[in-house]
Structure 1
Amino acid sequence: MQLAPSLHRIGNDVVAVYLVDTPQGVTVIDAGLAGQWKEFTAELTAMGRSVDDVRGVMLTHGDSDHIGFAERLRRDHGVPVFVHEADAARARGEVSTKPEWGHMKVGATVGFLWYALRKNGMRTTPLAEVVAVHDGDVLDLPGAPRVIGMPGHSPGSIAIHVPAVDAVFVGDALTTRHVLTGERGPQPAPFTDDPREAIESLQRLVGLGATWVLPGHGTPWKGGVDEAVREVTQAASASGS
Structure 2
Amino acid sequence: MQLGPHLRRLGNDIVASYLVDTDEGITLIDAGLPGHWHDLMRELETLGKSPADIRGLVLTHGDSDHIGFAERLRREHGVPVYVHAADAHRALTGEKPKTPMGPMKLGPTLGFFSYALRKNGVRAIYPSEVVEVHNGDVLDLPGSPVVIGMPGHSPGSIAVHIPSADAVFVGDALTTRHVLTGREGLQPAPFTDDPAAASRSLDRIAGLRASWVLPGHGAPWHGSPADVAAAVRAAG
2:179 maps to 1:187 = no
Report the counterpart of residue 210 of structure 2 in structure 1. 210
Q: Does 1:123 align with 2:139?
A: no
* Contact 2:7 2:165 (C-alpha < 8 Å) held by counterparts: yes
For residues 74-109 of structure 1, give each alpha carbon's deviation from its aligned partner in whole angstroms, at most 9, with x where no partner exists. Answer: 011100000000000000016243221000000000
Which residue in 2 is equivalent to 1:178? 178
Q: Which residue of 2 aligns with 1:239?
A: none
Superposition pairs for residues 129-140 of structure 1, below 5 Å? Answer: 129-140=129-140
Matched, 1:42 2:16: no
Distance across 1 between alignment mates of 2:83 and 2:228: 24
What are the within-5 Å matches in structure 2 for residues 34-73 of structure 1?
Answer: 34-73=34-73
Separation in structure 2 between the aligned mates of residue 74 and residue 97 of structure 1, nearest angstrom: 27
The TM-score with structure 1 as length reference comes to 0.96
Question: In terms of mean alpha carbon deviation, does 88-97 or 211-220 score higher?
Answer: 88-97
- Say what the alpha-carbon RMSD is for the aligned residues: 0.8
Q: Which residue identity lines up with residue 173 of structure 2 in the other structure?
A: A
The aligned residue for residue 87 of structure 1 is 87
Q: Report percent identity of matched pairs.
A: 64
Q: Report the counterpart of residue 226 of structure 2 in structure 1.
A: 226
What's 1:77 paired with? 77
Give the SS at the match of 1:45: helix
Give CA deviations for 1:40-87 in whole Å, capped at 9, x if unaligned: 110011011111100000000000000000000001110000000000
Structure 2 unmatched runs, 5+: none
Gaps of 5+ in 1: 237-241
Q: 1:228: how far off?
A: 2.2
Number of positions where the alignment pairs a residue of Structure 1 with one of Structure 2: 236
Q: Report the 3-state secondary structure (helix = DSSP H, G, I; strand = E; otherwise coil) of the residue aligned with 2:152.
A: coil
Match of 1:143 in 2: 143
